[in-house]
Amino acid sequence: MKISIQKSILEQALSQIQPFLEKKDTSQITSHVFINAADDSVELKATDYEMGLKADIKNINVTDHGSATANGKKLLDIIRILKDDEIILESKDDTLVIKQGQSRFKLPMFNADEFPQFPQIDEKPKIEIDSQKLVVSLKKITPAIDTNNPKFELNGALIDIKEDVINLVATDTRRLAVVKLQNSPSSTLSIIIPRKAILEIQKLFFDEIEIYYDETNLIIKSDNYLFFTKLINGKFPDYERIIPKSLKYEMMLPKDKMVEAIKQITTISNEIKLTFLKDRIIFKSLSDENIEAQTEVEVPTPFEEKFVMAVNSRYLLDFLANIDGNEFKLGLNEPELPFSLQDENFLTIVMPIVI
């Protein structure tokens, strides 16, 4: 294999595949990037078995066809220190040679034929969903995905496809985030995608994509990328049961003023006591120490009598950071029951702090 390629193009592709490399054990072939040159294009692949990415680079000067591997991190480190000019990659015996001007580097290779195979699309069933809506929706629910939960299904997000709606759902047991997307009639499906894969999907895909799946994998294809992730095998909680069927009190609140008030209190405490009066909301820190923060927002509420509740500020700020409008709807029942935050098709249910 021998190719010449612009530094900026190669550096960008190698940067994008870094999250897919095995980092801890460099003796594994999965710590290597797979490079395959054919005609006037090059493909780069990386996988840690749990997820993988193939990047296609077109219109490249390919002198000799063939495949090679090299440690993905070391190769990127080398490319980064070279000048912004053309770079030559050439496989010789069991090494990959990197050349530019008077500079020359060698990295050991594994047998490229032993690089793990990616799942094939073949005739796998397809999920019809707008790529931009998918990415925006995943971004909204990502903060509610749990991390390192012994119940593996909570370390991912659910894509729940019903006959006329697609629900994207995440929960860390203290809050539940749901985005509803309208869907043309299709077969029903429920799959759980790991959090790490969801973060990478948000970075990679903005243009039109095709999504395929089987019992173990989700595969996303675009013009330049082929991405796959193993699905989480488990039963996601019955999220619809958690959503309150009715609400005693509902009010529209100003996003900017609420964010400002909450952030003022978080200088002292992440736990906030909210007191709702008829014409305002009082924000006060919940702290055992002899320090206090308090502010208020003047806004009409449906309360004739004082209503007091407490909440983790992070849940409020995560929701408010992911809405587009200047107002959102707050729905309440009792101070110790879950309450709702809603902006159009984005709903978050939060468990309050018992005080």
Bridge partner list, 312: 271
Domains of the chain: 2-114 (3.10.150.10), 126-241 (3.10.150.10), 244-350 (3.10.150.10)
**Cβ(53)–Cβ(75) below 8 Å:** no
- From first CA to last CA, the distance across the chain in angstroms is 67
**Cβ(320)–Cβ(338) below 8 Å:** no
* Residue that has been written with the tokens 């100003």 in this structure: 254
pLDDT at residue 185, as a whole number: 64
**Cβ(137)–Cβ(344) below 8 Å:** no
Neighbours of 302 (CB within 10 A): 12
Dist CA 1 CA 35 (whole Å): 9
Would you write out the chain's pLDDT as a tens digit for each of its 355 residues?
999 999 999 999 999 999 999 988 989 999 999 999 999 999 999 999 999 999 999 999 999 999 999 999 999 999 999 999 999 999 999 999 999 999 999 999 999 999 999 999 988 999 888 888 999 999 999 999 999 899 999 999 999 999 889 999 999 999 999 999 988 767 789 999 999 999 999 999 888 899 999 999 999 999 999 999 999 999 999 999 999 999 999 999 999 999 999 999 999 999 999 999 999 999 999 977 789 999 999 999 999 999 999 999 999 999 999 998 999 999 999 999 999 999 999 999 999 998 8
pLDDT at residue 37, as a whole number: 97
The residues near 160 (Cβ < 8 Å, ≥ 6 apart) are 166, 167, 168, 169, 189, 190, 236, 239
The residues near 124 (Cβ < 8 Å, ≥ 6 apart) are 212, 213, 214, 219
- What is the rounded (10 degree) CA torsion for 188, 190, 191, 195? 120
| Geometric angle at alpha carbon 73, from 67 and 75, rounded to 5° | 50
* Residues constituting the chain: 355
The reported pTM is: 0.91
Dist CA 8 CA 14 (whole Å): 10
